[in-house]
Amino acid sequence: MEYLALIVITFISGVLGTGIGGLIGVILRRDSNKIVSLLLSFAAGIMLAVVCFDLMSEPVEMMKEGIIPSYTPAIIIASVVAGYAVVYLLNYVIDKKTNNEVKHIDKNHPSTADDLDELIHSNHFQTHKNSNTNLFVAGLVMLSAIALHNLPEGMVIGASYAITPDLTANLFSSSGFIMAIVIGLHNIPEGMAVSVPLVSGGMGKAKATCLTALSGLPTVFGALLGFALGGINEIMLVISLGFASGAMLYVVFGELLPESILMWKSKLPALSVFAGLLAGFLLVLF
């Protein structure tokens, strides 16, 4: 029953979240930079709160109670670094395969998206409007990379649920559910990044949306993996929580915050992060 509930929650977060982004991408293509900036920064604040006040606090409490050995901090740090490095490498692959296709990405321009068109790669249409094949290939690269990217994100949800007592009773009132919602929202622009070049490259809108949604499926496998590892023993739980925390810290500091600040050069994204941090703290607390 626990695994079934976890599958349903992460399916909605991963597949539905990415699929909604894909649908928005094929229908609208564009949106307000300012609104997206605030949403990204607010999500970053919530993620940061869950990592600091929940995921990373659990090993600290376990160590204070003598449940895990005193050398555990070294394991935690190694796990956090591993989680951060894995998501960094996956994003490096995405950037390497897409940024070099847009001529203005050079030393005088930030490689991190500073405009919604860059974030979802819709400007590939202008760059490759006479070469649909390149657009189509770019979309497939994005699909594959984001599918891999969703695996460690799923582990965050699974690891969060692994520390939830009586999962069935607390399915909708735990940090795992909070992370599922936030990651689902985070998946929307990722879904747009897949569907826009696919459609611009000649794929039908319905097929592009379905393929985009399927790229969120590894979220489910990642959640099952994170939950299973966390249930083996206390040390594996610590490793799973550390890896998940590292993955989320990269998403926050390597993706969401740079993108939100570059998309709207104002103090309001920072205020939105602060609001998200407080909201995440309250969600974890209650």
Q: Distance (Å, rounded) from C-alpha 183 to C-alpha 113?
A: 19
Q: Distance (Å, rounded) from C-alpha 223 to C-alpha 159?
A: 7
Please tell me the predicted confidence (pLDDT) of residue 2. 76
pTM of the model: 0.77
- Return the amino acid letter for 173: S
Q: Distance (Å, rounded) from C-alpha 105 to C-alpha 214?
A: 29
Please tell me the predicted confidence (pLDDT) of residue 274. 96
Query: Residue 44 has which token pair?
Result: 């970053």
Query: Residue 158 has which token pair?
Result: 């699974």
Please tell me the predicted confidence (pLDDT) of residue 116. 63
Which residues of the chain register pLDDT less than 70?
Answer: 1, 28-32, 94, 97-111, 113-139, 142
CA dihedral 265, 25, 180, 278 (to 10 degrees): 20
The set of residues, in sequence order, having a beta carbon less than 8 Å from that of 128 and lying 6+ positions away, is 101, 134, 135, 138, 200
Please tell me the predicted confidence (pLDDT) of residue 212. 87
Please tell me the predicted confidence (pLDDT) of residue 87. 87
Please tell me the predicted confidence (pLDDT) of residue 90. 80
Query: Residue 177 has which token pair?
Result: 């559910």
Distance of CA 282 to CAs 177, 279, 285, Å? 14, 5, 5
Query: Residue 278 has which token pair?
Result: 């407080």
